């Protein structure tokens, strides 16, 4: 039915129009609402500013970002959908749709255990070591054939091994 109505190149052609034009075109299809149209725009039509909004995303906006507009609103209307999308686009810029997707996935129950894993919560000492190694100065030394790069930590480690051998 879609092929008969729109032709073979119609969907591909939606990549070349603006996000809003593509979303509106998709919504002309039977059973396609704003959220599904936004999902297709984001994941299939190269529209990274498309933010698919549902009640779950609305809750994330209120809980984590103190989104207070439409606070008394009970249902997700077109206006609420548009305002939340605009809120996230203003917050995250042109790739708001992908930022939203990361948040959405991170909030799913099946990923909650990953948040609590020890490997994601580095001890303070490890963080300090990482910061120290990032700041390590690299000095250039020539070996006669080219340039050798050695950090201060590498020199100290080598010196430590020599000192240990002499003891």
The residues annotated as belonging to the active site are 35
Contact between residue 53 and residue 35 where contact means Cβ atoms under 8 Å apart: yes
**Distances in Å between the alpha carbon of 165 and those of 4, 7, 14, 155, 157?**
82, 78, 70, 16, 13
* Triad 105, 108, 113: Cα angle to 5°: 105
Token code pair at residue 9: 């190149």
Q: Kind and range of the H or E element at 32?
A: none
């Amino acid at each position: 039915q879609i092929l008969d109505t729109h032709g073979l190149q119609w969907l591909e052609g939606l990549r070349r129009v603006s996000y809003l034009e593509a979303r509106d075109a998709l919504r002309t299809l039977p059973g396609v609402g704003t959220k599904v149209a936004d999902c297709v725009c984001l994941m299939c039509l190269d529209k990274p500013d498309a933010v698919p909004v549902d009640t779950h995303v609305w809750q994330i906006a209120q809980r984590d970002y103190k989104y207070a507009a439409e606070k008394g609103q009970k249902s997700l209307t077109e206006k609420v959908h548009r305002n939340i999308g605009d809120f996230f686009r203003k917050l995250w810029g042109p790739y708001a749709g992908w930022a939203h997707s990361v948040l959405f996935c991170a909030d799913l129950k099946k990923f909650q255990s990953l948040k609590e894993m020890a490997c994601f919560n580095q001890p303070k000492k490890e963080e300090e070591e990482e910061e120290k190694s990032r700041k390590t100065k690299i000095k250039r030394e020539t070996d006669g054939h080219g340039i050798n790069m050695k950090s201060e930590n590498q020199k100290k480690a080598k010196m430590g091994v020599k000192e240990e051998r002499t003891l």
